[in-house]
Each structure stands twice: as C-alpha cells, then as structure tokens.
Structure 1
Amino acid sequence: MQKSYTPTSARNKLYGLLKQVAEEHKPVVIQQKDETLDTVIVPKDDWDAIQETLYLSETGTLAKVAEREKDDMAAMNVDDIDWDQL
C-alpha cells in the first residue's frame, strides 16, 4: 500500500521520504486539495523501468515478445533472433 502525505508533511520529511522511496521502491503520494494536482514520488530506477515498458508497449515490442513466448521455446535459438527488428 502506498503512503500518502500532504504537501506540508512531505516538505517537513522530504529527505527521509526520498531515502525511504529509494530504499523500499514504494511510491509516495503527495495529496493536495485539488486531486488533479496530486503527485507521486518514485525512485529513478523504477521511473526508468516504467518509461522503458511504455516505450516497448508503444512500439509493439511487448506484443511480439508475448507472441514469441507462445512459440515452442525449445526450438528457438536465441542467436537466430534479429534483435534490431523487434
């Protein structure tokens, strides 16, 4: 479960929150009165992974990987995969 803080409480605990998020890999939500302004703090490594997943999804690469996973993996030689064409 993700923890939520008000902007004031987050500001008062900012260094500790940043360290906690980085170490535990659990997001922290900063909730504001206008929920359209809510913000999430995530570790950079996690953010990079999210961005990579979105990119792979947008380019169709994830669908190709899922399709190939359905194939008989025993017959597939990893050296035969043209990774630049995925």
Structure 2
Amino acid sequence: MIIKTPTTARAEFYDILKQVNRSHKPIVISGKNSENNAVIIGQKDWDSIQETMYLESTGTLDVVREREKDDSGFTNVEDIDWDNL
C-alpha cells in the first residue's frame, strides 16, 4: 500500500488521481495521527464498493452464494423473482 504525507499528496495530487484510477490501488494520506488520515480511491472502485455493500445489505449476495452452491448448475433467469431477492 502506498502511503504519502499530506504535503507530498498536495504536490502530487493530479498524479495520484491518475494513479489510483489506473492501478485500482488506494493511496493512504497519513497525517499526524489516525484522525487525520484519509484514503484516495478511484471513482469506479468507490462505486463498486458501494454496490457490493448495497447488495450485501439487501441479502442479494446471500442468494447468489446459495445459488453458487446449487448442484444443478443452471438457473433460468426468467424464473428469478427479482423484486423479492
């Protein structure tokens, strides 16, 4: 994980934005204490995290995990009750 000071991050800000979007790896900005730390990630990565948290909170990922364990190996998409996942 890349860690930068606020001073370095300020000087390299645009390069950091390009880097997190290109590499999909977060960069930590480390202040004097943990209350002043931050993490910079790309927008697409943030959106992905938000979507995963939403799917987890609604129970949708539990359904997906159960279906992955299903031995039949096939689920007809038209049989899925999408409104009640």
Same fold (TM over 0.5): yes
**Displacement of 1:47:** 0.2
Deviations 1:10-40 (A, max 9, x none): 0011011111111111110000111122100
Deviations 1:43-79 (A, max 9, x none): 0000000001011111111111111211134353222
Aligned residues: percent identity? 54
**Displacement of 1:82:** 1.5
Distance in 2 separating the partners of 1:74 and 1:48: 30
Distance in 1 separating the partners of 2:43 and 2:34: 23
Residue 45 (structure 1) aligned with residue 19 (structure 2): no
Tell me the TM-score normalised to structure 2 length.
0.90
Q: Mind listing any 5+ residue stretches in structure 2 that lack a counterpart?
A: none
3-state SS of paired residue (1:74): coil
3-state SS of paired residue (1:48): helix
Moved more, 66-75 or 17-26: 66-75
Which residue is 2:66 aligned to?
67
Tell me the TM-score normalised to structure 1 length.
0.89
Distance in 2 separating the partners of 1:9 and 1:77: 53
Greater than 6 Å deviation, 4+ residue runs? none
Distance in 2 separating the partners of 1:71 and 1:41: 39
Residue 56 (structure 1) aligned with residue 49 (structure 2): no
Distance in 2 separating the partners of 1:73 and 1:40: 43
Q: Alignment RMSD, CA only?
A: 1.3
Q: Mind listing any 5+ residue stretches in structure 1 that lack a counterpart?
A: none
